[in-house]
Each structure stands twice: as C-alpha cells, then as structure tokens.
Structure 1
Amino acid sequence: MQRIVILGNAGSGKSTLARALGMRLGLPVVHLDTLFWEPDWVEPDAEQFRARVSEAVAPTAWICEGNYARRTFDLRLPRADLII
C-alpha cells in the first residue's frame, strides 16, 4: 500500500487516521482542506484546486484524506491502492 485515500464525513476522523497511518507507514499525508482553502477562507478557482490535487497525487506514495468528491475523485481514486 503506497497510495491510500481516506474518505468520510466532516468530523469522522479522516485527518487523525491519515496522520496515524502516515507515521506508521512512513508515507506523506495530503490534507485536501489544506490544498483547497486559501488565506481568509477564500475558495480557489476549480482548475487551480484540481491542479494542486493532481500535483499532490503525482508521487508514487501518499495518503490523501478529504472528500471534495465531485471535484477530485477522478484524480485520486484511480491512483489509489487502498480506499478507506
């Protein structure tokens, strides 16, 4: 398992699980909220966000947590070895 996607509702523990797995497996963790929100809680342009996600999941190993289903599933899920 080198590419893990963690999905879930807000407050379900996605970030906590991602951090724990990242430490245990030695994998970098990508938090989609960090890629999405700009300073002062400004939403990015859709293409900017997709570009950020594409770049984040380009490496061979990562844990990516967050939803943003309609915006990024097509970028993340096909590359995942495991979806939680």
Structure 2
Amino acid sequence: MALLNKLLCFALVFMIFGEFVTPDCYEDWSRCTPGTSFLTGILWKDCHSRCKELGHRGGRCVDSPSKHCPGVLKNNKQCHCY
C-alpha cells in the first residue's frame, strides 16, 4: 500500500510539473537526481548496482549541473560507472 501511495504521489508531481519541464530535461536526469532519489531501490536500482548490472566494477553519483533544466533539477547529480 505504501508503494502505491508513493507511485500516486510521483505521478501527481509529474502531471503538475510536467508542463514546466522540457523534453530535454530527461537528458539531465539520472537515478542520482535528488528530486527522485526517494524512488531509488523501489522503481530502479541505485547507481552502483545499475553499473554492476551493466558489467562495470561499480558506479557513483557525481555533481552534474543541469544544462537543460537548471530551475527544475537543482543540485543535479548523475551516475558515472567505473
């Protein structure tokens, strides 16, 4: 039930803010983005696990200022595999 509530909240946020977000925002988004990090482990794997799944030794979140959506994706981070 808690998962369903989180998914409904996530969908509602996307519907409300979707109008303010350009399609290019997706290029800046990652599993490390602070605004959606609460869904890590529920809807997607964390950075380290995803990189291992892709055949890398691991991964970590690094600062990556948003190029396309600086007003929406503040303090943006992206997953970098090593």
Compute the TM-score of the two structures, normalised by the length of structure 2. Answer: 0.31
Q: Report the structure number with the largest CA radius of gyration.
A: 2
Larger relative contact order, structure 1 or 2 (CA cutoff 8 Å, min sep 6):
1
Flag the structure with higher helix content.
Answer: 1
